[in-house]
Amino acid sequence: MKLSTKHSSISPSLTLAISAKAKKMKEEGINVISFSVGEPDFNTPENIRNKAIDVIKNISIGYTAASGMPDLKKSICNKLKLDNNLEYKEEEIIVSNGAKHSLYNIFQAICNPEDEIIIPVPYWVSYPELVKMAGAVPVLVNCKEENDFKYNVDELEKYITDKTKAIILNSPSNPTGSVYTLEELEKISKIAIKHDIIVISDEIYEKLIYDGEKHISIASINEKIKDLTIVVNGLSKCSAMTGWRIGYTASNKEIANIMANIQSHATSNPNTVAQYAAIEALDGDQSSIEYMKNEFDKRRKEMVKKINEINGLSCNMPKGAFYVMVNISKIIGKEFNGYKINGSIDFANYLLDNANVAVVPGIAFGSDNYIRMSYANSLENIIEGLNRIEEVLN
């Protein structure tokens, strides 16, 4: 039987494969330290959980408007105004089942077959696959470590063709933690306006940003770029709500309408209880975000310091999110205890099998000379895990 050609080429998530192996080892009683996770190790703040309990007890939980409850959209508009200096109307907001679902809607809404979408490498694992699922073509742009893994904005224009539909911007970035400056965003916005290209601005890590860096949404630069930008955000990372599945977009009304129609047939509304909880996350006490950020900051510094002390490993200081891209190019080609390291998958397996430490091979992000380590783990585990890595590399 001939199944969907478009979807047969979709790769499974490599990040999930390594975490599954690590999970199995843990279940077998092995003390695995995991640096592979993509979610905060903090529980959802109590006020948000209490709100959900209250809703379950006291409110009838039926369908809501397919693109999200008006009250939640109101809270999102307020947040965008307060945090990002962006004015959106409620009808320009679409609430979805996580930011990943928002991105799925976006590519379905904007892409025609053969359209090209510019993606930075290293990229978040799902971008190229989501683009392919919409029948479009990912155009991968190598972003150098020397440039903090960001687009070289002076060279970006050479990747634009008459098929370019959009460019993806992810600041702060998963997996690199890099953050774009206002000057860089201004240059990107000029290019987008000149060529009439959509900017998909994934801002899901916006509040996890360090060293006094400031998150700037490219949409806030001027009205022209705002009209071309689709802002993607959500509550998974900054409010520790990964399992609740609430993400959202802010865009012009034409794009929002198409996404609303797609979503209305694909899934109806995002989970009703989670939408009420999201209102509390946006309008309620924000101190847990500051607490989480300060904890991540301490771990970030410890992790980076220790990595750069280990023979063969090096990394930049990330400015946001909770990941470090570790350069392993000096390890590749070498042999440890009879184990030949030909690439990042070999290295990740070597660390898991010999040090009981889980990391994500960089090839999952398009960069085989790297591994990604997440510092969503305790300071104690970070120290212990890196000591173990140091031991098996000596």
Q: Name the residue nearer to ligand PLP (CB basis): 356 or 374.
A: 374
Cα dihedral across residues 304, 179, 41, 123: positive or negative: negative
Binding map of ligand PLP across residues 332-371, x = CB under 6 A, - = no contact: ----------------------------------------
Count of residues that interact with ligand PLP, criterion CB under 6 A: 13
Site for ligand PLP in 46-75 (CB under 6 A): none
Stretch that binds ligand PLP, among 74-82, 95-103, 301-309, 380-388 (CB under 6 A): 95-103
Question: What share of residues in the chain are helix, strand, coil (percent, to 5)?
Answer: 45, 15, 40
Stretch that binds ligand PLP, among 1-9, 50-58, 93-101, 128-136 (CB under 6 A): 93-101
Phi, psi of 79 (to 5 degrees): -60, -45
Q: Name the residue nearer to ligand PLP (CB basis): 184 or 202.
A: 202
Stretch that binds ligand PLP, among 97-105, 137-145, 153-161, 298-306 (CB under 6 A): 97-105
Specify which residues 142 forms β-bridges with: 121
Specify which residues 170 forms β-bridges with: 202
C-alpha dihedral (149, 150, 155, 157), degrees to nearest 10: 130
97 Cβ neighbours under 8 A, 6+ residues apart: 245, 246, 247, 267, 270, 271
Residue 210 near residue 179, CB atoms below 8 Å: no
Residue 352 near residue 22, CB atoms below 8 Å: yes
- How far apart CA 310 and CA 291 sit, in angstroms, is 29
Stretch that binds ligand PLP, among 17-25, 98-106, 292-300, 308-316 (CB under 6 A): 98-106
261 Cβ neighbours under 8 A, 6+ residues apart: none
Give me the least distance between CB of 205 and ligand PLP, in Å please.
Answer: 7
Give me the least distance between CB of 271 and ligand PLP, in Å please.
Answer: 13
Stretch that binds ligand PLP, among 86-94, 96-104, 184-192, 220-228 (CB under 6 A): 96-104
Give me the least distance between CB of 3 and ligand PLP, in Å please.
Answer: 26
Instruction: Please identify which residue in 105, 171, 174, 217 interacts with ligand PLP, judged by CB under 6 A.
Output: 174
Give me the least distance between CB of 158 and ligand PLP, in Å please.
Answer: 25
Q: Name the residue nearer to ligand PLP (CB basis): 44 or 236.
A: 236
Please tell me whether residue 170 binds ligand PLP under the rule CB under 6 A. yes
Please tell me whether residue 40 binds ligand PLP under the rule CB under 6 A. no
Inter-helix orientation angle 344-355/14-27, to 10°: 10
Residue 18 near residue 129, CB atoms below 8 Å: no
Closest to 208 in 3D by CA, of 251, 250, 178: 178
Within 10 A of 258 (CB to CB), how many other CB atoms are there? 17
- How far apart CA 347 and CA 340 sit, in angstroms, is 9
Give me the least distance between CB of 124 and ligand PLP, in Å please.
Answer: 4
Please tell me whether residue 261 binds ligand PLP under the rule CB under 6 A. no
Binding map of ligand PLP across residues 211-250, x = CB under 6 A, - = no contact: -----------------------x-x-----x----x---
Which residues form the interface with ligand PLP (CB under 6 A)? Answer: 38, 98-100, 124, 170, 174, 202, 204, 234, 236, 242, 247
